[in-house]
Amino acid sequence: MNVLLIYPKFPDTYWSFRYALSFQGKRAAQPPLGLMTVAALLPASWHKRLVDTNVERLKDSDLRWADVALLSGMHIQQPDLLALVRRCRAHGVRTVVGGPITSSIPPQNLEADHIVIGEAEELIAELARDLEAGSALPLYQAAERPAMDRSPLPDLSLIRMKRYSTMTVQYSRGCPFHCEFCDIIEIYGRRPRTKAVAQVLAELDQLYAAGWRGPVFIVDDNFIGNKIRVRDLLKALVEWQQSKRLPFRFITEASLNLSDDEDLLQAMKDAGFTSVFLGIETPDESSLAATQKHQNTRRDLLDSIAAIQQYGIEVMGGFILGFDTDREDVFDRLVEFIQKSAIPIAMVGLLQAMPGTQLFRRLAREGRILHTGDGNNTGCELNFLPRMNATRLVEGYRSVLRQIYGREAYYARVREYLSRCRPRYRTHLSLANFRAALLSIWRLGILDRARLSYWKFVLVAATRYRRYFGAAMTMAVMGYHFQMITEQISESES
């Protein structure tokens, strides 16, 4: 059987990193790890192709070749996923849709022949048998969440690694916390499930043997969800990295209580972790308590962030505007907090009530849901009725973005980040990095209307932060992406 695995496009948002990737000649940040894992679970006798539409076109010849198309995506990918499903069906190709999107969108709205709800390890064998026999059901739903030891090595042969800036590994699923707005705990549960250390090392061995060197994103929604097991993994990662002369630098997501554990931070530093994304959400403790983000309460948030940065680990931050408890001063407070935090990459979004979450259910009971939303929290369309005047909320959101991604404000945060973190990773000499440096000078130092700010930053980086100059230039390029997206958001204002 010929199976075509298709990954839909992501819209152009802060999370796409499109403008930054263009400097490197890369087409997307990460490959579709979920589909690569699904491919490894399919019968070995099947012929497989993977088309990631973020990096290549889906051709009619692919559809003529395919007996069945397997598509996966997230809520935010719904528009392109639907277009792909319709195109497949127009060519007479059976369609199967799975992934996180099926947990938030009613099956009939996805228009596929077959819908899979739940994790692939639990369902794929039955689905494959039925597809081969021509007796596949309209709906498959996992009865339970599988143990992670059932997850195979992802099929790297299906992608061209050079198209991506970062490779991906998954260690765990689930998060122990109870945030009202989060759909992760609804889909993957509150009891973190982890792979064995040997499984993770096998995935790293596979990447290493394939020639990858550079950033590896451990895609867990909370890497430290099970602190006991993660310590064993980190010990093994330190040994593995040292035996291979530190070929990878790791990026991951975690909860803010990481800052409370110095031994864990030291282990992450020793293992080569250089960046961690934290859901900080808001500096307003009443909002944190109201949304059940209790792990961020009863602490000085700025001190917690600084504690992580002191280990040379860059903090990327997620922030949300639109909580019921937000007051008129929330916009100014958030800008001040972000500037003081030395978080260059601050992902600020408007609250989205995601289907299936506690928040969605509460707002539905209160009659405040407008529609299921598109999953894009960096857009300006609300899918619920906020307590604050909606127009004021969107205006305040745009104002925050313009302030934090103004050139001077952004470069000031980067300088403070360099001072605190003293980033340890080096930028290797390569054709891609040489190209990125030239494009940086051309786009930011010559074409950009704020080029004076750029050259002032370069001068400071070259004199005061010489050892971290490569990291400084990387941050300048990242800032360009955020500035371009911010301008698009501002221009959409009517």
Q: What is the pLDDT of residues 289-325, one digit of tens each?
A: 999 999 999 999 999 999 999 999 999 999 999 999 9
First-to-last C-alpha distance (Å) of the chain: 51
Place of tokens 């860059």: 314
Tell me the mean pLDDT in the region 479-487: 96
What is the predicted pLDDT for the residue at 397? 97
Q: Tell me the torsion sign for CA atoms 239, 240, 246, 249.
A: negative
What is the predicted pLDDT for the residue at 435? 83
Percent of the chain at pLDDT > 90 equals: 95
What is the predicted pLDDT for the residue at 437? 86
What is the predicted pLDDT for the residue at 434? 80
Q: Tell me the torsion sign for CA atoms 49, 53, 56, 62.
A: positive
What is the predicted pLDDT for the residue at 430? 66
Average pLDDT, the chain: 96
Q: What is the pLDDT of residues 315-368, one digit of tens each?
A: 999 999 999 999 999 999 999 999 999 999 999 999 999 999 999 999 999 999
Q: Are strands 139-141 and 114-117 parallel, antiparallel or unpaired?
A: parallel
Tell me the mean pLDDT in the region 9-18: 94
Query: What does the alpha-carbon distance between residue 128 and residue 149 come to, in Å, rounded to a whole number?
Result: 20
Specify burial of residue 6 (Cβ count, 10 A radius: 0-12, 13-18, 19+). Answer: buried
Q: What is the pLDDT of residues 188-203, one digit of tens each?
A: 999 999 999 999 999 9
Q: What is the CA radius of gyration of the chain?
A: 22
Percent of the chain at pLDDT > 70 equals: 98
**Residue 229, SS3 per DSSP:** helix
Query: What does the alpha-carbon distance between residue 395 and residue 241 come to, in Å, rounded to a whole number?
Result: 47
Q: Which residues pair with 50 in a beta bridge?
A: 5
Q: Hey, what amino acid is at 6?
A: I
> 4: Cβ–Cβ under 8 A, 6 or more apart, which residues?
49, 50, 51, 62, 63, 65, 66, 68, 69, 70, 93
Query: What does the alpha-carbon distance between residue 491 and residue 68 come to, in Å, rounded to a whole number?
Result: 41
Tell me the mean pLDDT in the region 98-114: 96
Q: Are strands 193-194 and 172-173 parallel, antiparallel or unpaired?
A: antiparallel
Among 91, 100, 92, 138, smallest CA distance to 7 is for 100
C-beta of residue 258 within 8 angstroms of C-beta of residue 299: no
Place of tokens 């010849």: 61
Confidence of residue 472 (pLDDT cuts 50, 70, 90): very high
